[in-house]
Structure 1
Amino acid sequence: MIDSHELKKRDLYLNKMIAFQDTEPVKVVTGIRRCGKSSLLKLMTLHLRENGIADDQILEMNFESYAFKNMNSDAFYEYVKQHIVPGKRMYLFFDEVQRVPGWEDAVNSFRVDFNCDIYVTGSNAYMLSSEYATYLSGRCVEIKMLPLSFSEFLTFHDFEIRETKSALGGIRKQVFDQNGEHYDLREVFDAYMRFGGMPGITDIGLDQEKALMLLEGIYSTVIMRDILERENRRGQKKITDPILLKKIALFLADNISSNISVSSIGNRLMNEGLLEDGKRKGIPSAHTVQNYVNALLEAYFFYDIKRFDIKGKEFLRTLGKYYIVDIGLRNYLLGFRDRDSGHAIENVVYFELLRRDYDVSIGKIDNAEVDFIAAKADDKIYVQVTESMASEVVRKRELTPLQKISDNYEKIILSLNPGMDSSYEGIKSINLIDWLISE
């Protein structure tokens, strides 16, 4: 049992969950392993208890526990049935439910047979793929969970931002820790770019050796539990080669925010002698690579993003990009390095846009590219990301694609060094760190 004192708030997700409390759909929390899904369920049970729900109305089952190790859907149904309190509304919490074969049948039956509100978590997107979701026939709502944002990182590590006067009379933001030590905001951001946002890092402190051990554990668990152990599925070859899987993960991590195709991954691996030419074995290597890439996407280790033609107003089938769910995991895979920090900050911006509930795509306009088009029902922003706007050459490169867009939606450039000008013909130049900590 997690002690409630240890639970750090994740209001972004908890508020979504509370908004759906006592509504019919099954609440499904998805995301990579160890990003905080179990703690979110605990936070929700705490919220219920604080609001008068009795302990016997709350049933929690974690299927990673040995207690439920070989449970099938029949045993699952019977166990829950025995814990139902007649005449009371029940709140059912099922952690890593995809480990129960046929879980959807049981969960659907609870919905029909009992007066209950159901919350489940899972670490694999396959659990919501069409084949499974038909059982719940649209009666579920997905809450997509990610590792810590930079704002959450500050809170989790007990950092507090205070504004202080600078020598020139302006205001500057400084970060204070619990001992009253103070740091530049940039220093703490650099720590975030090094350690990433896995909540477990909070427990061990910002210690590189321990962090790498923790991240290695997360990588191994994702690879073993969610990919190599996943069941053989219709039309999909089983993923059996952990070495090839790691090579593909390394390739994708090394090429975040680059336009890549599956065939280019296969070719590179073949050139390096890492992949047999599939034709000899009767398996096209691109097909094999695609299966492994899909497995990494389904385990929420990588996310893919499509290109959108701004003038033609259509999604393009050509090259997309991949981003890694946590920059700390990338550093675990590739080692710490500064040479492509531009790609790393772009990765951070992509996930921040997802956290803010935007649908995100890459923009193409003529031969130029806009890093992100972020759209909601009533809102759209065009975003460029670059390390610095100080040089004339970079300014021209970043501004040109945005200047070609003729609509009136907001256009911004995020950088760690925005330069002197805060706006270029209506295109805003914003400090990336300020943007990350703004609500």
Structure 2
Amino acid sequence: MKLIERDEYLKEMREVEGTPDIKVLTGVRRSGKSKLMDRFAEDLKNRHENANVIHINFNLIDFEDLQEYHRLEAYVEDHYQESCDNFVLIDEIQMCKGFEKAINSLHARGKYDIYVTGSNAFLQSSDLATLFVGRTYRIDVFPFSFREYSTYYAIDNPYKGLTQYLTEGGMAGSYLYRAPEQKYKYINDEVLKALIVRDIVRKQKIRNVQLLDKLIDYLMDNVGTITSVRSITDTLESNRTKADHKTIGKYIDYLCNSFAFYKIRRYDIRGKKYLRSDDKYYLSDQSFRYARLGIKNMDYGHILENIVAIELLRRGFETYIGVLYKKEVDFMTIRNGKTNYIQVAYDISEPSTLERELSPLRQIKDNYPKILLARTYQPEYEIDGVCVIDVADWLLGK
């Protein structure tokens, strides 16, 4: 498989190198965590003359004997070198029974720089504080961005390339298959069925798998739509699926903690407060929807919104849905005390559509930047203080 340099993740891993934290790479399965760990191991050896990299990949049968925490710690201790900088890199850590005991013991010894990856269901963000006694630093790894996709395929026309990315998505493992049906089969079988649903069902001991399946279908079909646990429950029950809001709420938490979906809360711009009810849910990769539900109802507008939402999270923005009176701004972002308002539209060629998308931004009276992202196929321009940017250019960071 062709490999590309994932610069932003490598940069972050280098920046936290040497800190006393346990560095944990998280993200949906098949998002590239293992390849990133391999690349970081090479990077350490290239940059440090005295680096002793103890790299364990539990996907390989070579390390099968270490799938018990006493043996894992003993192996690392046996490979420690006194005069070197000792790095411990462990891939698929959950395959070692009692792994947290080994990691906590190694961390307590204070002589290792530790990095681990694990299954999205067995090493959830909510588990880190209880699993590891020492401090943890989480690095969120997402599927390929549009910029990475463009690099992989050497795309010279970003506007055409975005049309492809809308449906192909960022699951790089699917790029090895030529036909769309084969790509989606890989995503459905290797990611959705085998790795997300199976892992969640196994860890959480879910009995009502049919309800979980229907919930996933509902959330995928309503990407970017204001949703509440109560409304989901009511819809499922109206379709003769027995459900209750407590169970639905738990299942949604499982899906979000496993990085299949990301929940984005609503924020009252005028009242400057978070709104407790009705959130939006976005897929970690838009290809999941097509792999599971098919491509009959493409819904490009919401899929483009999904891509922007994940890109904002990938870039490290604190992201909310902005609410102003009865209007909604797709995204309000905050970073380093600076706010941006972002509206997303697929096509603004019709004057009425353009006016509808500009309207919520015009009503915001503060002086923070206001941006409309759309498929304009032209350089950035401005309307009434709103920057209108082609979404392909924005995704490429231009």
Q: Is TM-score (shorter-chain normalized) higher than 0.5? A: yes
1:365 paired with 2:361, answer no
Q: Secondary structure at the match of 1:93?
A: strand
What is the alpha-carbon distance in structure 2 between the residues aligned to residue 341 and residue 224 of structure 1? 26
Aligned residue among 215, 237, 259 for 2:187: 215
- How high is the TM-score relative to the length of structure 2? 0.92
Counterpart Cα distance in 1 of 2:354 and 2:215: 34
- What corresponds to 2:175 in structure 1? 202
Aligned letter for 1:189?
L
The 5 Å alignment of 1:258-297 reads 258-273=225-240, 275-276=241-242, 285-297=244-256
Equivalent of 2:278, from 308, 311, 319? 319
CA contact 1:239–1:291 (8 Å) conserved in 2:
no
Q: Which amino acid aligns with 1:186?
A: Y
Superposition pairs of residues 48-59 of structure 1, within 5 angstroms: 48-53=44-49, 57-59=52-54
Q: Secondary structure of the equivalent of 2:123?
A: helix
Q: CA deviation at 1:114?
A: 5.0
SS class of match (1:417): coil
Look up the match of 1:182: none
Alignment-mate amino acid for residue 58 of structure 2: F
Give the TM-score normalised by the residue count of structure 1.
0.84
Pairing 1:245–2:251 present: no
Q: Does 1:139 align with 2:98?
A: no
Q: RMSD in angstroms over aligned alpha carbons?
A: 2.3
Partner of 1:200, secondary structure, is helix
Of residues 247-256 and 88-97 in structure 1, the stretch that sits farther from structure 2 once superposed is 88-97
> Is 1:9 aligned to 2:5, yes or no?
yes
Task: For residue 8 of structure 1, give the secondary structure of its aligned residue in structure 2.
Answer: coil
Q: Check 1:154–1:11 CA distance in 2 against 1; reply closer, same or farther (3 A cut).
A: same
* 1:294 to partner: Cα distance: 1.5
Query: Is the contact between residue 30 and residue 121 of structure 1 (CA under 8 Å) also seen in structure 2?
Result: yes
C-alpha contact (below 8 Å) 2:229/2:245 kept by paired residues:
yes
After superposing on structure 2, the runs of 4+ consecutive aligned residues of structure 1 that deviate more than 6 Å are 418-421
Structure 1 match to 2:222: 255
Structure 1 residue runs without a partner (length 5+) = 162-174, 176-184, 233-237, 279-284
TM-aligned CA deviation for residue 50 of structure 1: 1.2
* Aligned-partner Cα distance in 2 for 1:154–1:75: 43
> Distance between the aligned counterparts of 1:368 and 1:418, measured in 2?
27
How many angstroms apart in 2 are the aligned matches of 1:333 and 1:58?
40
Q: State the SS of the aligned residue for 1:388.
A: coil
Structure 1 or 2, whichever has the larger Rg, is 1
Choose which of 208, 228, 238 in structure 1 pairs with 2:201. 228
Deviates more, 1:322-331 or 1:65-74: 65-74
Contact 1:389 1:419 in 2 (8 A): no
Task: Say whether the 8 Å CA contact 1:104–1:132 is kept in structure 2.
Answer: no
Structure 1 letter corresponding to 2:70:
D
CA distance in 2, matches of 1:385, 1:147: 21
Structure 1 pair 421–221 and aligned structure 2 pair: CA distance change class (3 A):
closer
Structure 1 residue 43: Cα displacement:
0.9
1:79 is the counterpart of 2:75: yes
Change (3 A) 1:267 1:314: same
1:377-416, Cα deviation, whole Å (9 max, x unpaired): 1422100001122222222221121111121111010111
**Equivalenced residues, count:** 396
Counterpart CA distance in 1 for 2:127 and 2:22 is 17
**AA partner of residue 431 (structure 1):** D
Structure 2 residue ranges without an equivalent (≥5): none
Partner of 1:422: 381
Q: CA deviation at 1:6?
A: 4.6
* 2:90 corresponds to which of 89, 94, 108: 94
The CA deviation at 1:89 is 2.5
Match 2:144 to one of 144, 148, 155 = 148
Q: 2:130, 2:4 → 1: CA distance?
A: 35
The corresponding residue for 1:30 is: 26
The question of 1:62 aligning with 2:34 is answered no
- The equivalent of 2:101 in structure 1 is 105
Q: What amino acid is the match of 2:247?
A: T
Return the offset for 1:125: 6.7
What's the offset of the Cα at 1:95?
1.2
How far residue 126 of structure 1 moved from its aligned partner, in angstroms, is 6.5
Contact 1:324 1:347 (C-alpha < 8 Å) held by counterparts: yes
Structure having greater relative contact order (Cα 8 Å, sep ≥ 6): 2
1:60 is aligned with what amino acid? H
Letter in structure 1 aligned against 2:76: V
Once the 2 structures are TM-superposed, how far is the Cα of residue 295 of structure 1 from its aligned partner? Answer: 1.4
